Amino acid sequence: MRRIIALCIALLLLPSALAVTVLTPKRTDYADRQAAAERAIRERKVGKYGMVPIYGRDIEDGTYAVQVGSTSPFFKIVEAELTVRGDEMTADITIGSRSYLYVYMGTAEQAGGAPEGDRIPGDEGQRFTVFTIPVPALNAPFECAAYSRNRQIWYDRQLLIDAADLPRDALAFELPDYELAEKAILAFEPEDTAASDDGEAEAAEPAAPEPVTLPRTDGEYSIEVNLAGGSGRANVSSPTLLIVREGRAYARLLWSSPYYDYMVIGETIYENLTTDGGNSTFEIPITAMDDPMEVIADTTAMGDPIEIEYTLTFYSESLGDKSQIPQEAAKKVLYISLAIIVVGAVLNHFVKKKRK
């Protein structure tokens, strides 16, 4: 009976294994990849309008889990713990890579001329680095330059710890609703492009990329996708999950590596959805069908985070049922296999009982 069950499972797994296809991306010239890798860092602001600094004397002594905002997507803090002792505050900040050797509490220019003893070394894990830094105040941006392991260069970074993450009883007073204040300020800003004092027009916020329309009922499907660009070593699982939402097409891409931390389409950044350390996953709009669609993906696999240009081509003729996706097929096989094991166990029980 055991042999029969094992044979059934093997037969079920065989077609699934054969059905898993990953399209090999085309190779591009090394110089092109280097040019993509040297793209300017996209700086982001931290904090909210009207924030007032909160100091150690305003907070009960203790250790608190907090969120830390960073001006750079290359220096993303995935976890942080704030410790308050009297007027002094420190934070253990965890960076989701091993790309930086030191941090310095100041600008990159100041770090370059500072004594080596003023550098703060990181405590490195397998894929993370933890830095213990002094915190001058919460709700106020502070300089924290970071030293790149591979490029041997200091980079300017600004960090901010939001006091709203603290428990209510940890603060000596109640915080204003900065979210509400910021929304109110934005509501009063004119919709049209405003002119600056020197007569030049201020740049409007970039529009999010528009997904293509699909004449399909809202739901989940499969579609073949080809990745080209980069070094040729990365790939994405194909077919991939296609989601039709309000008649628009979106794709959920599973990369062959866990080191992709964000993707850029147009001027919009899409964060990695995987949180358990598995291969990177992104849900992105499909802006072109049957034609190459330009994207950027940032990877930390080579040490320093770098942005690499790729193209994705989605093939409309391959649109099919969700069950064709390798991950979905594997789930189906697993369920069937479990059912066979259960049925086999029941039959085996009755056979043994009959023999008695």
Q: Look at residue 175 in the predicted model and tell me its pLDDT.
A: 80
Percent of the chain with pLDDT over 70: 70
Condensed to tens digits (0 to 9), the pLDDT of residues 15-70 reads 433 333 333 333 333 344 444 444 443 445 777 777 889 999 999 999 999 999 99
Which two structure tokens, joined as six digits, stand for 149? 């392991």
Give the C-alpha distances (Å, rounded to integers) separating 44 from 22, 52, 72, 94, 201.
35, 20, 6, 19, 21
230 and 118 share one domain: no
* Residue 279 confidence (pLDDT) above 90: yes
* Residue 317 confidence (pLDDT) above 70: yes
Between residues 162 and 187, which one has the greater pLDDT? 162
> What distance in Å separates the CA atoms of residue 265 and residue 285, rounded to the nearest whole number?
8
Between residues 33 and 333, which one has the greater pLDDT? 333
Condensed to tens digits (0 to 9), the pLDDT of residues 103-151 reads 999 999 999 999 999 999 999 987 789 999 999 999 999 999 999 887 7
At 282, is the pLDDT very low, low, confident or very high (cuts 50, 70, 90)?
A: very high
At 267, is the pLDDT very low, low, confident or very high (cuts 50, 70, 90)?
A: confident
Between residues 348 and 55, which one has the greater pLDDT? 55
308 and 255 share one domain: yes
Length of the chain, in residues: 356
CA end-to-end distance (rounded Å), the chain: 17
Q: Look at residue 160 in the predicted model and tell me its pLDDT.
A: 94
315 and 288 share one domain: yes
269 and 318 share one domain: yes
Is position 26 within any domain? yes
Q: Look at residue 330 in the predicted model and tell me its pLDDT.
A: 46
75 and 137 share one domain: yes
Query: Residue 90: helix, strand or coil by DSSP?
Result: strand
> What distance in Å separates the CA atoms of residue 171 and residue 160, rounded to the nearest whole number?
17
Condensed to tens digits (0 to 9), the pLDDT of residues 67-105 reads 999 988 778 898 999 999 999 999 999 997 788 999 999
72 and 159 share one domain: yes
The chain-wide mean pLDDT, for the chain, equals 78
Q: Are the C-beta atoms of residues 257 and 230 closer than 8 Å to each other?
A: no
Percent of the chain with pLDDT over 90: 44
Q: Look at residue 189 in the predicted model and tell me its pLDDT.
A: 54
119 and 217 share one domain: no
Condensed to tens digits (0 to 9), the pLDDT of residues 244-264 reads 999 999 999 999 999 898 898
Q: Look at residue 149 in the predicted model and tell me its pLDDT.
A: 82
Is position 107 within any domain? yes
Amino acid identity of residue 199, one-letter, is G
> What distance in Å separates the CA atoms of residue 183 and residue 201, rounded to the nearest whole number?
23
Query: How far does Cα 305 stand from its chain's mean position?
Result: 13
Residue-number span of the structural domain to which 226 is assigned:
7-39+209-329
Which two structure tokens, joined as six digits, stand for 87? 């007027």
Is position 78 within any domain? yes
Between residues 163 and 202, which one has the greater pLDDT? 163
Q: Look at residue 1 in the predicted model and tell me its pLDDT.
A: 53
Is position 353 within any domain? no
Query: What's 304's domain CATH number?
Result: 2.60.40.1850
Is position 91 within any domain? yes
Q: Look at residue 353 in the predicted model and tell me its pLDDT.
A: 62
Q: Look at residue 30 in the predicted model and tell me its pLDDT.
A: 35
Question: Of 306, 305, 308, 282, which is closest to residue 295 (Cα–Cα)?
Answer: 308
223 and 283 share one domain: yes
| Number of domains composing the chain | 2
Is position 182 within any domain? no
Tell me 138's DSSP state: B
Q: Look at residue 88 in the predicted model and tell me its pLDDT.
A: 96
30 and 61 share one domain: no
Domain end position, chosen among 133, 159, 177: 177
Mean per-residue pLDDT for 290-315?
86
At 337, is the pLDDT very low, low, confident or very high (cuts 50, 70, 90)?
A: low
> What distance in Å separates the CA atoms of residue 284 and residue 158, rounded to the nearest whole number?
28
Contacts of residue 323, Cβ cutoff 8 Å, sequence gap at least 6: 222, 329, 332
Domain end position, chosen among 153, 177, 201: 177
Between residues 321 and 49, which one has the greater pLDDT? 321
Is position 272 within any domain? yes
Is position 246 within any domain? yes
> What distance in Å separates the CA atoms of residue 127 and residue 121, rounded to the nearest whole number?
16
